[in-house]
Structure 1
Amino acid sequence: MAAVPTWTGREANALRQALRMSVTGFAEHLGAARRTVAKWSSQGNKVHLRADMQAALDTVLARTTPDVRERFAALVRAGTSDALADPATLPVRNTHTHTGGGGINDFDSDGDVRRRDLLTGMTISGITRPNAATLLQVLVAPRPRNDEPVALPLRQFARDVAAAKIAYQACRYEQVFAGLVALLPALEPTRADAEGEQRAQVDALASDLYHVVGSVLLKVGDKGMALIAAERSTRAASSSQDPVVMGASARIMTHALMSNGHSNQAQQLAEAAAETLRRGTRLASTDAVAVYGALLLRGAIAAARDDNRDHAKAMLDEASHAADRLGYDGNERWTGFGATNVLLHRVNIALTLGDAGTAIALARQVPLDKLGLAERKASLLVDVARAYTQWGRYEHGLYALRSAYEVAPEEIRCRPTVQRIASDLAVLTRGHVRSAVFDFAQHAGIRV
C-alpha cells in the first residue's frame, strides 16, 4: 500500500489496531508516552503528529506483514473507532504501580517494564561475530519471573553509563551491548528508588543511556529502532529539566532522523535545539559550548544531505566559532567537540556534497595526533576510503580501510557503510588490487 502522507491520530490508531496491540503495548513499541497514544485514539484526525513520531510510524508500518498492512488499509478506509480495541484481543500483561510523578514513568507506566528488555522487536545484523546472536537474544528475550532486575546505587549506575559511553567511543561494540544488557533492566528500579535531585540525575543518565542505544543501533544499520531509542533519550532528557542534557539528547534525534531519510527535519531540529541551548545557558559552561557546537555540526551534515550547501557552510562556520570559544579539543558531554572535530565534519560534508577531491584535501589537514577517540579516527578513515573510491583511487581507498581496521576492527566489521565500500571496490578493481580487496574482506569478516 502507499505510504501515509501525514500521520494523524486516526492513522496511528488504525495501525495500532491492525497490529492488535493495546494502547500500552503500542506506546512501548514506539517509545511514546501512553497518554500520547491514548490521545491519538480519542482525538483521531484532530491530532497531527510530530515529525520524529511520523518517521517512527513510517518505519513500523514498513516492517509490518502483508496481513497487518491489509488490516491497516481497511481500518483507514472504514474510519477507526475512538474506543479502545476489544480487551479480548489485547496481550496479557502484568501491571504494577510506580511511585513519584512525571519523568520516565510517563512513558513506562501501566506496563511491566521489568519484563521488557531493550526494545521490542529489535533486529541487529552485522555486529561482530560470533556473539551477535547471543547478544541479541539477551537483549530482546523477556526475563524470567525469578530474575527481576534490581536498583543500582546512583554512583554505580553513573559509572556504568559512563563505561558504556567510553566503550562506544572506543568502538568496543560487543562490550557496549554487554553493558546495555545489564543496565537497561536496572534503569526503572534505580529511578524508582531515587528522590528529589537524584531523580533528575537518573533522568539525565537515562538520556545518555538511550543515546548510546540509538548510536550503536545506527552503527549496525537498525535505523527504525534507533529512532525509537532517540525518542526515549529525548523524553528522559526533558524529565531532567537540564538544558545541556536536552541539547545532548537532540543530537541523537537529529542523527536518527537523518538516517531515516528526514534530513530537513533533522536540520531544523538541530538548529532549534542549538538556539534553545544558547538562550537557556548563554553558553556559560564548557559543556554548553561543546553541545552547542556539536548540534551545529549535526545540523550542517543534515543540510548537506538535503543538498543545502549555503546552510551547511553557515552552520559549519558557526560551529567553528564555538570551537574557538571552547579553545581545545575535548570530550565534554561525550561530544568529542573542538576545532579538529569541526574539520572532520568538513571532510564528511564535502564528501556528502560529491566533492571527493576537496574531502581528501581537507582530510590531509586533520592532525591525527589530536584524534583521541577511536570512533572519530575510524570514521575519518572510512570517509577517506569513500572519497578515494569515488575519486577512482581504489588502492588508496583499500589502504584507508585497512588503516581504519587497525584502529577499530569492530567498527569496520559492523558498519553497513564499510560493507558497501568494500563491495564497490570488489566490483571496480582488477588484478592484484582486486585480490587484495578480497583478502582484506575475508580477514576483516566483511561480505563482498
Structure 2
Amino acid sequence: MNAVRLWVSEEARCCVRQQDPGGLIRIGRVGRGWRLEDLGARIGCSAATVSRLERRGRKADFDMLMSAARAVEIPAHVLAASLGLTGFPATRVAPDGPRCAEEDPMRRRRLLTATGLAVPASLLAGVSDALASIPDPTGSPVPLDSRLAAARGLFDAGQNAELLRVLPGLLADASHAASPAHEELALARLSTAYSLAGRVLTKVGRYGDSRLAADRAALYAEWSGSPLAAAAAARELSIVLRHQDQPAAAERHILDAVAKVEETGLRTDAQRSAYAQMLCTTSYTAARAGARDQALTMIRDAALAARALPGVSPRGRLFPITPAAVDLYSVGVHWALGDAGAALEAGRGLREGQFTTAERKGRMHTDLGRAWWQWGKAEQTAAELLSAVRVSPGEVRDRPAIRQIVSDLRSRHPKVTGVRELVAAAGPAE
C-alpha cells in the first residue's frame, strides 16, 4: 500500500468533497487488506459496528470514529477536511443531491427562532452555520491572539450575544491560520476557540451546537499535543455530555483529562490550575450523577490542589481557578447532591470581591440563588438573582435553567420583594 497515493486518490478526494469520513476509513481499511472484523479487533468493536461507522460517517460516534481514523492512519489534514473542520476549498463544496433537512440553514434559522431564547436567533443561527461549514476568512488585520483574548473578555463580562456575534469570524480565521502548516500553536489556538464556542453555547442552552464545538476542540487539541488545550476541550465536552444525559461518557472524558494533566508533573501554576479545575469539574459531574462519595472526595482534592494558587489568577490564564472559585464549585456540588444547607454553608464566605469577572460574580449569585430555591426560600432566591442581574444580566437572562426559576418565582411568589424587577430584567417568557 502506498499511503501517499491512497490519500490523494480521486476516491479519497471524493470522500473529502462529500465530507464522508466513514468513506475514508473504508479506503484505509481496504488499502491495508483488512476485513471489517480486523479493524473491529483493533478498535474494540464488532464488524457490524465498523460497517455502520463506515456508512454513517459524521453521524457516527465521535470517539469510535477517531479510533478508527487513527487505526488506518488517515492524515490529520485529510480527516479534518472530511469532517468540515478546515478552511480548505474542498470542505465548502456541497455534496451532490438534496440537502438533509437537518443541515438546511433556513430550517436551522426557523428552529432557532422558535426557541424564544433571549439571545437573538440570528446570532445563534450564525454560529450554527459556521459550525456546519467554515466561513471564508474575514481578512482582519488584528492578531488572532488578541481577538481570542477579547472574545474571552466578552465571556467574562457576560456579554454572550456579542461573543456569539464575533465567533463565526474568529473560528474562520483561526481555522484558516491552522490549515496550511498544522503547527502545534495554531492548532492549540483553534482548539481554544472552539472550546470557548462550546462554553457559551452550553451557557445559553444550545447543547447540539455545543457538542459539535466541543468535539472539534477535542480533535484539534489532540493534534496540537497541548495537554492544557486538551484539558479545556475535555472539560467542555464533559459538560455538554452531562447536559445531554450521558453521565458515564462525561465522567470518562473528564477523568482522562485529569490523568493527562497530572502527567505533566504539575510543575507550573498553569498546570496546577488546570489540575484543580479538572477536579472541580469531575466533582460536579459526579454529583449530578448521584455519586456522592466521589463528588465530595474530588472537591476536597480540588481545594487542596488550589490551596497554593494565588487569590487572583494572572490575566490570560486558560484556567483561572482560585481557592474562592473552588468554594463556589463546592456550592454547586452540594446543590447537585440535593443538600441546600451544605451548599449555602460552603458559600457563606464568598464575596463578589473574590472574583475578577462579571461572569463569575454573577455565577456566584445564581449558584447561591439555586441553593436558596432548593431550600424553598423565595425571598432569598429573588435577592440573589437580582444581585446577579446587577453584575451580569446575561447570567439570568441567557441561561434557561435560571430563567425557569424566574418564571417559577413569577407564578408562585409574585408578591415577593424583587420578583417584579427580576422578571423585567429576565425579559419575555419563553
TM-score (norm 2): 0.75
**2:127 alignment partner AA:** L
Q: 216-225 or 106-115, which moves further after superposition?
A: 106-115
Task: Give me the whole-angstrom Cα distance separating, in 2, the residues matched to 1:105 and 1:139.
Answer: 24
Of 334, 338, 351, which aligns to 2:318? Answer: 334
Q: Which residue of 2 aligns with 1:296?
A: 279
Q: Which residue of 1 aligns with 2:70?
A: none
**1:285 alignment partner AA:** T
Q: Which residue of 2 aligns with 1:310?
A: 293
Contact 2:207 2:243 survives alignment (8 Å): yes
Of 243, 267, 289, which aligns to 2:251? Answer: 267
Q: 261-270 or 308-317, which moves further after superposition?
A: 261-270
Contact 1:356 1:390 survives alignment (8 Å): yes
Of 148, 151, 155, which aligns to 1:168? Answer: 155
Of 354, 365, 369, which aligns to 1:385? Answer: 369
Q: Which residue of 2 aligns with 1:136?
A: 124
**2:80 alignment partner AA:** F
Q: Does 1:408 align with 2:392?
A: yes
Of 160, 165, 175, which aligns to 1:188? Answer: 175
Task: Give me the whole-angstrom Cα distance separating, in 2, the residues matched to 1:265 and 1:148.
Answer: 34
CA 1:83 to 1:366, structure 2 compared with 1: closer, same or farther past 3 Å? closer
Deviations 1:149-201 (A, max 9, x none): 25667x701111121112112111122112212112223322234x47xx211
Contact 2:15 2:23 survives alignment (8 Å): yes
SS where residue 301 of structure 1 aligns? helix
CA 1:392 to 1:142, structure 2 compared with 1: closer, same or farther past 3 Å? closer
Task: Give me the whole-angstrom Cα distance separating, in 2, the residues matched to 1:211 and 1:141.
Answer: 17
Of 182, 201, 208, which aligns to 1:224? Answer: 208
Of 397, 406, 413, which aligns to 1:422? Answer: 406
Q: Does 1:108 align with 2:81?
A: yes
Task: Give me the whole-angstrom Cα distance separating, in 1, the residues matched to 2:368 and 2:26.
Answer: 44
Task: Give me the whole-angstrom Cα distance separating, in 2, the residues matched to 1:140 and 1:362.
Answer: 38
Q: Which residue of 1 aligns with 2:165?
A: 178
Q: Which residue of 2 aligns with 1:241?
A: 225
CA 1:288 to 1:38, structure 2 compared with 1: closer, same or farther past 3 Å? farther
| Higher RCO by CA contacts (8 Å cutoff, separation 6 or greater) | 1
**1:181 alignment partner AA:** P
**2:280 alignment partner AA:** L
Contact 1:150 1:189 survives alignment (8 Å): no
Task: Give me the whole-angstrom Cα distance separating, in 2, the residues matched to 1:81 and 1:402.
Answer: 49
Q: Which residue of 1 aligns with 2:304?
A: 321
CA 1:428 to 1:104, structure 2 compared with 1: closer, same or farther past 3 Å? farther
CA 1:82 to 1:105, structure 2 compared with 1: closer, same or farther past 3 Å? closer
Q: Which residue of 2 aligns with 1:88?
A: none
Identity, % of aligned pairs?
25
* Gap regions ≥5 residues in structure 1: 1-21, 51-75, 86-100
CA 1:283 to 1:82, structure 2 compared with 1: closer, same or farther past 3 Å? closer
Of 246, 266, 276, which aligns to 1:283? Answer: 266
Deviations 1:241-279 (A, max 9, x none): 122221222111111111111223322322221122211
CA 1:375 to 1:83, structure 2 compared with 1: closer, same or farther past 3 Å? closer
Task: Give me the whole-angstrom Cα distance separating, in 1, the residues matched to 2:305 and 2:367.
Answer: 24
**2:274 alignment partner AA:** V
Alignment of 1:52-131 (within 5 A): 102-103=75-76, 106-109=79-82, 112-113=90-91, 124=112, 125=115, 128=118
SS where residue 326 of structure 1 aligns? coil
SS where residue 220 of structure 2 aligns? helix
CA 1:297 to 1:141, structure 2 compared with 1: closer, same or farther past 3 Å? closer
SS where residue 334 of structure 1 aligns? coil
Deviations 1:207-246 (A, max 9, x none): 1100011111111111122112111001111111122221
Contact 1:385 1:400 survives alignment (8 Å): yes
SS where residue 179 of structure 2 aligns? helix
CA RMSD of aligned residues (A): 3.7
CA 1:159 to 1:113, structure 2 compared with 1: closer, same or farther past 3 Å? farther
* Gap regions ≥5 residues in structure 2: 1-13, 58-73, 85-89, 95-101
Deviation at 1:115? 7.1
Task: Give me the whole-angstrom Cα distance separating, in 1, the residues matched to 2:22 and 2:388.
Answer: 40
Q: Which residue of 2 aligns with 1:11?
A: none
Deviations 1:53-74 (A, max 9, x none): xxxxxxxxxxxxxxxxxxxxxx
Q: Which residue of 1 aligns with 2:144?
A: 157
CA 1:275 to 1:166, structure 2 compared with 1: closer, same or farther past 3 Å? same
Q: Which residue of 1 aligns with 2:424?
A: 442
TM-score (norm 1): 0.72
CA 1:260 to 1:394, structure 2 compared with 1: closer, same or farther past 3 Å? same
Task: Give me the whole-angstrom Cα distance separating, in 1, the residues matched to 2:343 and 2:426.
Answer: 25
Query: How many residues end up aligned between the 2 structures?
Result: 370
SS where residue 209 of structure 1 aligns? helix
Task: Give me the whole-angstrom Cα distance separating, in 2, the residues matched to 1:297 and 1:110.
Answer: 32
CA 1:142 to 1:303, structure 2 compared with 1: closer, same or farther past 3 Å? closer
**1:134 alignment partner AA:** S
